[in-house]
Amino acid sequence: MRLGIDLGGTKTEIVALMPDGSEAYRTRVPTPRTEYRAILETIVGLVAGAEAALGQRGTLGVGIPGTVDRISGRVKNANTQVLNGHPIDQDLTALLGRPVRVTNDANCLAASEASDGAAAGLDVVFAVIIGTGAGGGVALKGQVWPGPNGIGGEWGHNPLPWATADELPGTPCYCGKSGCLETWISGTGFELTEGRGHKAKEIAALAQAGEAWAETALQRYEDRLARGLATVINLLDPDAIVLGGGMSNLDRLYTNVPPRLEGLIFGGGPLRTKILKNKHGDSSGVRGAAWLWPVAE
């Protein structure tokens, strides 16, 4: 049995996968994002609950909104900032009495969707998480490509491409820079810059009801998302880009963004990169975390 944990900005989820990939157990709880020790205790509690329910012990992989530095062994670049500077894999290994593998949550999404998800069978897959933050991950022939710095696919902390005068210098980002893509195209960024106090789902509903400002806000979002994705295509030219996270549930993105991309990518369209909605919903990342152990032990 393989256990996967998706440590998100608002929720922490666990899944138990059998050797054939079928789900035997899944549940989620709120993330105590302001206390590192409470996060560890939450994960330990979820593992204990799953193993008690199923009567067996499993391997554990964890997806986090950051990365574990290969040299220091400590988390860096996490937008759940309380994780930064802590050796989460070592701490969980000590608490659970077994090796624990930890990687970026977008890497988990990429592995999941390239294995048996929306992009199954494609060689080069770029996965995007546009939720609390904006992360990215790369899967090559179904395997995560983290890179030597552990930041493969981290497009969210590049500047918004082709920024207009009214978009500069941009909102300060937790990473220390301003105008990062994350501050514009994450769900949090969209609500802060365009929401007028509304959540993304509410803005989408208002736009569908004919509210002009909401429609304009979504069109600006689609334009910024397309600008960000165009740089990915120019650099990586993936077979598919799979969208995950809360903003990926806006179905209009899959109709409206590809035509914008055709006018942005080098040389113009037609666009051959598929822009896909994730198959496994917001639980795709947690499945990928379980698959950090390729064979149940």
Per-residue pLDDT of the chain (297 residues; tens, 9 = 90+): 999 999 988 899 999 999 888 999 999 999 998 999 999 999 999 999 999 999 999 999 999 988 999 889 999 988 889 999 999 999 999 999 999 999 998 899 998 999 889 999 999 999 999 988 898 999 999 888 888 888 899 999 999 999 999 999 999 998 899 999 999 999 999 999 999 999 999 999 999 999 999 999 999 999 999 999 999 999 999 999 999 989 999 999 999 999 999 999 999 989 999 999 999 887 788 999 998 887 544
- Report how far apart the first and last C-alpha atoms of the chain are (Å, whole number): 7
Structural domain contains residue 46? yes
Q: Is 187 left (phi over 0), alpha (psi -120 to 50) or beta?
A: alpha
CATH of residue 71: 3.30.420.40
**Does the N-terminal peptide bond of residue 148 adopt cis geometry, omega within 30 degrees of 0?**
no
Residues 65 and 159 in one domain: no
Structural domain contains residue 295? no
Residues 92 and 215 in one domain: no
Structural domain contains residue 297? no
Residue 54 belongs to domain spanning:
2-107+282-290
CA 139 – CA 122 distance, rounded (Å): 9
Residues 207 and 272 in one domain: yes
Residues 20 and 151 in one domain: no
pLDDT at residue 269 in the model: 83
Residues 63 and 140 in one domain: no
Count of the separate structural domains present in the chain: 2
Structural domain contains residue 203? yes
pLDDT at residue 212 in the model: 98
Whether the pTM exceeds 0.75: the reply is: yes
Which tokens go with 169?
């210098």
Structural domain contains residue 157? yes
pLDDT in tens, 232-252: 999 999 999 999 989 999 999
Residues 161 and 246 in one domain: yes
Structural domain contains residue 112? no
